[in-house]
Amino acid sequence: MKTYLLPLALLFLAIQSAAQQKTQILSPVDGKIVGIWPHENKLRSADKLRELREKYGFSYLLIAAPYGDQFYENVRNSGYDADHIMKQIYYPDLANRPDWFWKNIGSLGRVWAYYIDEPVSRGFPYTAVLKLFSDLCDKGFYPAAKFVVGELDEKKAERFLNTADAVMYSGYGSRDKLGTDQVQSWHDWNQYLGPKFSMIWISSDDDSLEYRTLLKAAEDQGINAVWFYQYEPLDSGKETGNENLQRFCDAAVEFGFLRLNKQK
């Protein structure tokens, strides 16, 4: 009889663990920001966005530049409020269709921050980007919202230190380095740029095997804002699965960015 008890006990524990994983509720640790740039499939569903916020603990959300009213409605219905939304702005949209650009910004309304990705690396005219920031100020969107700039090189990011409220390293490491080169880049940026280097990207694709290494390094370096990049690949149905989200969140719990609350 005893020979059957151990397998049954192990089966029970496995079922219990799986049930807990389905019902766990996560939230950010006080003083930490855990945000996500989600795949389009998530933005198409208020329920999926709500799950990101209520189950996985992503309290901040980035909305990519192309998306407008239909997606904004899903965001509002999911429970994300203006104080937890970062909106990407894309300079070519302003250059090529300015009326659409300003309507898109105005339709969303007040947000926590505006994000421009790699303006120097992408060859956007520097003075035009500065004028865009100035225009956002003139239209009353700043200083209510922050300006956040992502770049691939700390010397390029330095050009925005007097304009941006925060700068982010938007690159990732080589897979064969297992995250060590990315950790070194964060250290170098911190030394070179000081406290305005205050946020990082971790990719659901390029970094998928290195969540523990990267989140431990973020904690060790005193970085309090971590953003999970899930936007690409863009093809419908090709987003990374929830098991990938779960592994990121498990590491975020382990290294003090998320906390596990009471089970529901």
Decide if pLDDT at 2 tops 50. no
Q: Which position has the token pair 């429970």?
A: 79
Q: What is the rounded distance in angstroms from the CA atom of residue 194 to the CA atom of residue 25?
A: 34
Q: Which of 219, 151, 220, 216 is nearest to 189 (CA)?
A: 151
CA-angle at 147, arms to 145 and 152, nearest 5°: 155
Q: Where are the domains of the chain?
A: 26-260
237 sits in the region (left: phi over 0; alpha: psi -120 to 50; else beta) called left
Contact 117, 88 (CB under 8 A): yes
Report, as an integer, the average pLDDT of 32-57: 96
Helix (H) or strand (E) holding 117: strand 113-117
Q: Tens of pLDDT along 133-151?
A: 999 999 999 888 999 999 9
CATH of domain 26-260: 3.20.20.80
Total residue length of the chain: 264
pTM assigned to the model = 0.88
Q: What is the rounded distance in angstroms from the CA atom of residue 103 to the CA atom of residue 68?
A: 9
Q: Tens of pLDDT along 12-23?
A: 444 444 544 556
Q: Tens of pLDDT along 188-228?
A: 999 999 999 999 999 999 999 999 999 999 999 999 999 99
79-92 burial by CB neighbour count: b if 16+ within 10 A, else e? ebeeebbbbbbbbe
